[in-house]
Structure 1
């Protein structure tokens, strides 16, 4: 480019490029640099100086015009620090060695299909528009620490679906108004959102549908999501953490959607109760660490499988598995019972199964509810067989008192009668087969006939309930 066509600041940048020297225009009155000049340098308009690595390194400039490197092949680095860009730069389908925009202000960034050989950085930059990185391939990481990104319409503020990152995504203390879309992306090295605020009320604060993370996904240390955190079908080989003062809010909608996901460890211990529904339906979780007092009133657990629960009071889980907004589901109780058995908590396993039958009964028709209530009261659906013994003891004691006070009359000749014993007589009435022969030899009189009928009926009911209850216990589901 002819020297006469450049401003003083542009000429200084042109001269500094072959050695990769930083040009600082912070305190200069002539801070404007044309985007076309930067583009020409990046595309090799000036030769490199022997023994040096060429680069555009610029601080405090006002970049005028659109920096358009669409489909370009850039062999050098671009570092803009404390610069203001008056148009969204375009790096669509561009390959570049290194790209950094630190503490900059720009109205958006177009990076569809961008490929970088080093870390892409937007530390502390203010982006009043969309940061587009769809199908970008970043051999280094992506750093958005302290950035402020605001969508100007209903599109995502960070639109990075199908992106591939080799060294982690860091957005610590960032504020993203308009949400992040990372659907279908693969992030090696982890996703770190500590202290970040993702605001997109009524929509997706974080859309990580089918996201793959080969390390931790940290939404902790003051992380806040206003809107749905969607991780449906995600696979995280490390920890997904909503810990240490995290806040999750989606009133009237889904706060967290982890259905069909595969997570090595889930930590859910935010600073306050979650606002909105949490869905873990059909998720596979290795270790679940949570606090039951922060779970929302509506929780979907149907189909969720976990290997271990790290908990304080296991008794609270009996309420935890009964929060599905769609009504009763059997599988959460089965899963809790299976975990309790593996963990050596047999009593909790039995109580989970008993609670399953009780909650199922509420959704059944009246005649089925009556039989279920009878099984519950008599034998606890087979999980409390001692109840049957208690009922037997009460009936035998009451019957013995009744027939001691009002003995039955003999049916046979005195010589053929066995000796009458009130206790044995009551037991004979209770046993359906009448094993002791007193039932056929003595006949109750007056009102005691009704007592005898009641004892006989109770025997049949208790025997039937015990058989039905044991059958339920032995039958899966």
Structure 2
């Protein structure tokens, strides 16, 4: 087989090292610790000569069993610092050996479509694309530190011990095709995409990540379009978009489920898409939403279910949809800011966020705060009614606080009682029947005017004159208004609308 391939000296080194899995090093590739993505990937690999050049065909044949194992050894392809020409293609094959490429320059794509492999590590390399649609990896896939100038496709792929793309650069700015296409991917361990730099879309829709997902420090740039599409994704453990996470474009988490912590920090900017953060119909055991700056664009958590919601009023966006959001616990800020929080729907008044907020305060034992939330709901609803409804609503608000502040009626009653007592004490009305009239009491007389029925009998025995007559009529009308408002307010409390 070796003779039929007419191996070069560089290829013969790889061929001879394979049976024992011995690493083959070309050049002086010495990766250094760094936080800069792709920093260790070669930049001049296209200039390397034949002494560092290996055909991808040779690697593929070795992986598919062209040469047997050495006695007492585990075969593997382990190459560093090589220039690899041609496409590394194993389509539908079964690979029993580990593939490790480090610091290599790949002139053609890597295609492992529908293959079954052991661990595949293509780290600190430069390559045009990676294709692993439907692949099954009995180990892990690592593209960490690599610079990939085209798409990475691992749709419907399965990985037993994880996916690692730490510090990877992926560049594929395309209107439709993502830079990272991982729809339906299943990872039984951790999916670590931290500190990556992506130009284009990251699509994780329908993926199942059983060991969590880390996007800590990752930057995704796809302005005007979707940056992260994770619709319908399921994450066991935690999903972290933290530590300098940046998304220029929409972050779409619609219908996803996170059975642990969903932490969103960093920066999200997408003012020119319908949503900057689209997290409707989301399920999360805990949502930690504290970005480094207010999210630029519309945020929706509509119809989502959250166990514990922890956020910060300093970073709330101006437009926030909360209709249908339910939560068991709420952390971060007082009732005044929470009322502002539930009133930011760009389409106007929505009653459910107020009701949910009131329900939370009630469960937490804060009945007074629950009443404030209900009162805020009715005040907000008033702005959606016609002139008559707004007038009646304002009257209910001023007099009895829509029934949630009945003590206001007593305050108004006391003020009117004081005014009437003073005025009628200085300007007593004339008796209708002087011989039968009791002694005039301005306090009792005013009290009778304010009540819908006469309690002390003073109202029926005296008749005010002049301008005090107008005051008397005003007190009667005010008394009826207070009584009506009190009844209407009590009805609202007993039967919320």
* Shorter-chain TM-score above 0.5: yes
Residues 321-400 of structure 1 aligned to structure 2 (within 5 Å): 321-400=342-421
Alignment of 1:476 onto 2:493: no
Alignment of 1:281 onto 2:302: yes
Residues 97-176 of structure 1 aligned to structure 2 (within 5 Å): 97-154=118-175, 155-176=177-198
The alpha-carbon deviation at position 101 of structure 1 amounts to 0.2
Secondary structure, in 3 states, of the residue corresponding to 1:395?
helix
Query: Distance between the aligned counterparts of 1:458 and 1:302, measured in 2?
Result: 39
Secondary structure, in 3 states, of the residue corresponding to 2:297?
strand
The alpha-carbon deviation at position 409 of structure 1 amounts to 2.1
Contact 1:57/1:80 (<8 A) preserved: yes
Structure 1 residue aligned with 2:260? 238
* Residue number among 191, 198, 203 corresponding to 2:220 in the alignment: 198
Query: Distance between the aligned counterparts of 1:285 and 1:303, measured in 2?
Result: 11
Contact 1:128/1:152 (<8 A) preserved: no
Query: Distance between the aligned counterparts of 2:173 and 2:483, measured in 1?
Result: 72
Structure 1 residue aligned with 2:438? 418
Alignment of 1:267 onto 2:288: yes
Structure 2 length-normalised TM: 0.93
Change (3 A) 1:152 1:346: closer
* Residue number among 432, 436, 447 corresponding to 2:467 in the alignment: 447
The alpha-carbon deviation at position 429 of structure 1 amounts to 1.2
1:272-294 CA distance string (max 9 Å, x none): 22211111111111111111011
1:134-174 CA distance string (max 9 Å, x none): 11111110000000001152221100011100001101111
Query: Distance between the aligned counterparts of 1:284 and 1:454, measured in 2?
Result: 52
Secondary structure, in 3 states, of the residue corresponding to 2:478?
helix
Structure 2 residue aligned with 1:220? 242
Alignment of 1:431 onto 2:431: no
Secondary structure, in 3 states, of the residue corresponding to 1:213?
strand
Q: Which runs of 4+ in 1 moved over 6 A?
A: none
1:75-127 CA distance string (max 9 Å, x none): 11111111111111111111101111010111111111011010100010000
Secondary structure, in 3 states, of the residue corresponding to 1:184?
coil
Unaligned 5+ segments in structure 1 are none
The alpha-carbon deviation at position 128 of structure 1 amounts to 0.4
Contact 1:3/1:11 (<8 A) preserved: no
Unaligned 5+ segments in structure 2 are 29-47
Contact 2:430/2:464 (<8 A) preserved: yes
Secondary structure, in 3 states, of the residue corresponding to 1:354?
helix
Structure 1 residue aligned with 2:11? 10
Structure 1 length-normalised TM: 0.97
Secondary structure, in 3 states, of the residue corresponding to 1:286?
strand
Contact 1:315/1:348 (<8 A) preserved: no
1:214-250 CA distance string (max 9 Å, x none): 011011111111111111111001111123xx11111
Query: Distance between the aligned counterparts of 1:312 and 1:177, measured in 2?
Result: 36
Query: Distance between the aligned counterparts of 1:450 and 1:172, measured in 2?
Result: 77
Report the count of equivalent residues. 474
Residues 89-100 of structure 1 aligned to structure 2 (within 5 Å): 89-100=110-121
RMSD: 1.4
| Deviates further, 42-51 or 454-463 | 42-51
| Deviates further, 401-410 or 367-376 | 401-410
Alignment of 1:20 onto 2:21: yes
Structure 2 residue aligned with 1:73? 94
Structure 2 residue aligned with 1:463? 483
Secondary structure, in 3 states, of the residue corresponding to 2:69?
coil
Secondary structure, in 3 states, of the residue corresponding to 1:13?
helix
